[in-house]
Structure 1
Amino acid sequence: MVDDVLLNLESATGVFETTEDASSPVPTRGRDTTQSSANALIDVKRDAWLALAADVIDGPCLAVGPGSARRAISLASFAERLCVVDSSEFGRPASTNHAREPHSNRGPSLADRIVHVRAREDRLPFSAGAFESIVADLTGADDVRARLEKLVDQLTDTGNLTFVADGFVGRSGLASMAGFGKPTEPSASLAGRLYGTANWYRSAAAALGFDEVTVYACVPTASNPAYVVAVDDERAVYRMSSFVLAEFERWGDLGERVLSTIRSSESAASLYPALLERLYPSFVVVCTNESSAPNVLGTPLENGVEPLLLSGRARSVVLELGEQGIRRVWKIPNCRANAALTAREHTLLTWLQSQDTPLRGTFPDGTAVETPFGTARIEEPVGGTPLIERLEGDPETFGSVLQTGRNWLVEFQRTFRGDRVVRSPDAVREELRFEPTGIEPPSISDPVPTFTTPVHGDFMPSNVHVHDDESIAGVIDWEYGTVAGSPIIDAGLFLLDAANRAFGSYPAGFEAVLCDSSVRPSAAKPFVEHAREYVSSYCDALDIPERTFGIYLPSVYLHRLALDWRYGTTSHYSEKRVNRSKFVIDLFEARDSMWLECEEVAQ
C-alpha cells in the first residue's frame, strides 16, 4: 500500500511495537538519560524565540545568565563554539551532560562544541572582543544597564547581542500575581520596578552603540512563551491578540468585538500595539549593527510579511502574516530530539498527497526543509475555520461536530484501510501493553474484529478546518501520524476531545458521555445520545462491532506514548507521560462501566 520510504517509518506492523529495550523505563539507545538532560529537554520550549533570532547567533558565542546551561542545547546548533557561564550551575560538579543532545544517535553530540566555564558573570575570564555573539538571560536582574555594558566589552566590533529581560509588568511582580509564569519576587528598588518597557531597552541598546534593535515580546512570560511577536509589527500583534482572546470563550467574544472596533479606527489602531509595549511581562531584545529583515531560522521573509511564533512542547509554529492573511506556516522542532515527528509527518503527508483520491485536497500541502534543529516543514495555509469553534457547549453543536468529524474519518479510513482481521485476545492485549510505564491491559474474553489504517494521531476538532457549508477545508497537524495503526486511535480521540471541550476535562467528559452511570446528571443525557450515534454509525460504516471501539479506546493515548518513547521526544520526559499513562489505566478500569459493552460476544 505504501512505498519503501514510508515503510521505513515503522519497524513493525504492530500498532504499538517498538525496537528498543522494553525493560528500560526510559529509552537508552545511545542517549544521555541523566535527570539534567531530561530537564533541559523539557524546557526547550522556553527558547522557541530562537527561531526568530537565529540569524545573529554565529561564530564564537557566549551564553550567560540563569538557564544558559539549558539553552546550550539550542545555541550549540547555531554557534561555531559556545562558552556557557550559568550562575545557577556555579558550584556544581563540572558536567556537560545537561547540554548534550540527549536523544540523537545521528553523529557527534552537540556537547563537543560546548565549554562550561566556572566563573562569576561580573568576572568573566575572557579577553575583550572574544565573541562574535552573546546571548544573556537578564530576567530578575536590577542592574541590567551595567551588566549589558560589561557584556558588550566581550564582543567583537561587529558582534551581536541578544538578551532576555523582564518588562515592567514582570519586574513589578504583577505577572506572577496574575498567575502567569513562575512566581517571582518584584524588584527590590522602586527604580527597578519602573523601567522595563520596550522603549527603555531600545534606548539602552542604542546607548551601547547598536544600530539595529528588534524587540520581541514573550506572551505571557519568558518562562512560558506561548506567543513570540515583534512589538512593532502591528499585524502580528493583532493576530496574537485574537489568539489570546479566543481562549477566554464568552469574554473573548467581547474582547474580539472591542479589538475589531479599535482596528476600524485609524487613530486607535496604532495606539493599541503601543499600549501593549508597556504591558508585556517579558522581552527578547536582538541588537546588531547590520540591517536585518524579519526571518525564520535565518531565512528572510518577503517584504511586508511579518512572523508570529506560537510555541509548543515539541515544536513551534511560525505564521508568515501578509496583507491577505497567513502566507505560509513553518513547523519547527524545538530541538533535534523532536525532529523525528515532523520528518514522519512530512513523509506520511507526501504519500497521502500522491494518492488519487477526492480527499487529497484535505491533506496539507508542504515541503520539508533542513534546519539546525532537524527536519522542519513549511506548509501552505489551510482555509476555513477550526471545527472546534462550532462547539458551543450545547448538545446540538456537540452532535454536529461529531457528525462532521465522523464523516471525514469514515471516508478516509474506507479509502486507505487494510483488510478486516480478527485478532486473538492475546494479540490484542499485547498491542495494548506498554511496558515502559507498566501499563498492563485487563483480560479479554473473545477475539476482536478490527483492521489497520493510516492514522492521523491527533485527530480532534481543533485540527479539522471547515468551510461555511460544513465541508472539510483541511486536516492539519499530522506529527503523530503513522502508516498502520488501530482505527480507534483517531475515532476515539475525536470523541474524547469533543467531550473534554464540552465538559471541561477529559475525565469529566469521559464519565459524562461514555460511562453507563446511574448518577449521570440529566443535562448530560443528550450528549450521551449523540455519542452513541457517533460510535454506532462509525462502527456500522466500517464493519466493526462497538466492542472493538471500547476495547481499543485506550490506544488513543498508548499511540502517543509509544511514539514519544520511541523517539525520546520532550513529552516522554514530562508530566504528559504520567498523565497519559494514568488515563490509559483509567480507561481500562472503566471498561465494565462503559455502555460500549466491551465483552459482548464478537461478531
Structure 2
Amino acid sequence: MIGSIVEYIAENHSIDRDKVSYSVYSGSGTYRYLTIRIYCDGEPMVVCRVPRWSTSAIETQYETLQTVNNIVEGSGPLETSIEKPLALKTIDGVPVIFKEFVSGTVAKGIVRKNVSEAVGFLRKAVNWLIDFLLGTQPYWVYEAEVKRERLNELGVPPETDRTETFINSHLLFLAPCHGDFVPSNILISDTDDINGVIDWELFSVRGVPMFDFMHLVVATGTHQFGATSEMIQKTFFEHNRFSATVRACATDYCSALGFAVKDFRRTLPIYSDIRLSRGHNLDNLDFLRKLREQLVNFNSDIVPLCD
C-alpha cells in the first residue's frame, strides 16, 4: 500500500522514485489512521492519511478539512496555520487523503521538558485559540434552544447547574471547535511560535469553545504531572507557576471572547461530561470522573481560575 502511494506521487510529480522517501506514524485514536509523510531528496512534500479499517471515516475527514478551510478562508496567518486538503484519491482500492505538509515540531515533546517550556507553549496556544474563535465569529450561536440541543447531542447531562448556565447565558455560545486541541496536534516553529494545527477529524462547526481550552490545559498539565489527582490539584487549585499561567490564560480567554468569568467557571465540568460520553479506558474514566467532581465543587475562593 505505502509502496503504491510512493509510486503514485513519483509519477504524478515526474520525479525519480529513488528520490522519494517517507516516514510512517500509526495513530492511536478511534480509527487508528496511518499518517505517511512524504519527502523528496529529504525535503517535505506532502502528508497522506490512510485508514486502517474505516474507509468512510477517511472520506468524512477530507470533507471536514475542506469545511475548516472554507471557514477560515481569508483570515491571513490563521488560515496558513491550518493544514489544507489537497486531494482524495483511491489507491489500491483504498481512499487516501493528500494534505499539505505543515512544518514544525510537535509540541508534545517540548512541553514535557520543564515547566518553563510548558507555560510558554500554553500562552501561545491559548492566543492561537482566541484568534481562531475571533476569526470564525460569523459562526457563533447564542440561541438557547440550539445550545440545549447541541449539549444533548454531545451527551452532556441535562438540567444541571453547568448545562443551564451555558444554555441561559447570553454571553456563552457555540462555535467552531477543533475537538482535539492538544500538544500532539500542535506544531511549533524554531522560535516556539504556533506554526500549525493538524488532525481536525473531531472538528465541529457547533462545538463548546471551552472544551478546546480545557482540553489544551488538561493535556499540557498531564504532560507535566501525569493523569492523576496530583495533576488536578497542581493545575487548578494549588499556587504554582503552572496554575498561575492557567489562570492568566483563562482571564485572557474570557476577556477576548466576552465571557462572564463566573459563568465560564460554572460550566467547566461540561468538559468532563463531553469526554466521558465518548468512552475511554478505565484509567481515563477514573481520572475524568475525579476531574468532573473537582470542577463541580470548584471554589473560586481557594484559587480563582481567572484573576
Shift of 1:398: 2.5
- Taking a change above 3 Å as real, the CA distance of residues 342 and 415 of structure 1, as seen in their structure-2 partners, is same
How does 1:259-338 map onto structure 2 within 5 Å?
294-296=3-5, 299=8, 301=10, 302=15, 303=17, 304-313=19-28, 314=31, 315-335=33-53, 336=55, 338=57
Task: Give the drift of 1:359.
Answer: 1.4
**1:141-171 CA-partner distances (Å, limit 9, x unpaired):** xxxxxxxxxxxxxxxxxxxxxxxxxxxxxxx
Q: CA deviation at 1:533?
A: 0.8
Separation in 2, partners of 1:511, 1:374: 46
Match of 1:497 in 2: 219
Q: Which stretches in structure 1 are left out of the alignment for 5+ residues?
A: 1-50, 53-293, 565-571
User: CA separation in 1, counterparts of 2:247 and 2:60?
Assistant: 33
Q: Give the Cα–Cα distance (whole angstroms) in 2 for the partners of residues 495 and 310 of structure 1.
A: 25
Equivalent AA in structure 1 for residue 225 of structure 2:
F
Structure 2 CA distance, aligned partners of 1:497 and 1:454? 20
Match of 2:294 among 584, 587, 590: 590
Structure of higher CA gyration radius: 1
Structure 1 residues 498 and 477: alpha-carbon distance in aligned structure 2, compared to 1, 3 A threshold: same
| Residue-by-residue CA offset, 1:23-59 (whole Å, 9 max, x unaligned) | xxxxxxxxxxxxxxxxxxxxxxxxxxxx33xxxxxxx
What SS class does the counterpart of residue 473 from structure 1 fall into?
A: strand
Query: What is the identity percentage for the equivalent residue pairs of Structure 1 and Structure 2?
Result: 20
Residue 412 of structure 1, CA deviation: 1.0
1:469 aligned onto 2:191: yes
**What does 1:170-209 correspond to in 2, within 5 Å?**
none
Task: Give the drift of 1:499.
Answer: 0.4
Q: Which residue of 1 aligns with 2:157?
A: 440
Task: Tell me how far 1:353 sits from its aligned partner.
Answer: 5.5
CA distance in 2 between partners of 1:361 and 1:552 (Å): 32
Please tell me whether residue 354 in structure 1 is matched to residue 73 in structure 2: yes
Cα 1:383/1:339, change in 2 over 3 Å = closer
How far the C-alpha of 1:507 sits from its partner, in A, is: 4.7
Equivalent runs, 1:522-601 vs 2, <5 Å: 525-556=240-271, 576=280, 582-595=286-299
Mind listing any 5+ residue stretches in structure 2 that lack a counterpart?
none
Q: Map of 1:65-214 to 2, 5 A cutoff?
A: none
Distance 1:394 1:311, change over 3 A: closer
Check if 1:421 corresponds to 2:136: no
SS of structure 1 residue aligned to 2:240 = helix
Q: Helix, strand or coil for the counterpart of 1:479? A: coil
More helix by proportion, 1 or 2?
2
State how far apart, in whole Å, the 2-side matches of 1:345 and 1:374 are.
19
Deviation at 1:350, TM superposition (A): 3.6
More moved, 443-452 vs 580-589: 580-589
Structure 2 Cα separation of the partners of residues 373 and 534 of structure 1:
47
The AA in structure 1 aligned to 2:42 is Q
Q: How many Å apart are 1:547 and its aligned residue?
A: 3.7
Match of residue 364, structure 1, among 83, 86, 107: 83
How many residues are paired up?
A: 285
CA offset at residue 586 of structure 1? 3.3
CA RMSD of aligned residues (A): 3.5
2:116 pairs with 396, 404, 420, which one? 396
Instruction: Compute the displacement of 1:578 (Å).
Output: 5.7
Q: Cα distance 1:443–1:401, how it changes in 2: closer, same or farther (>3 A)?
A: same
Which gives a bigger RCO, structure 1 or 2 (Cα 8 Å, sep 6+)? Answer: 2
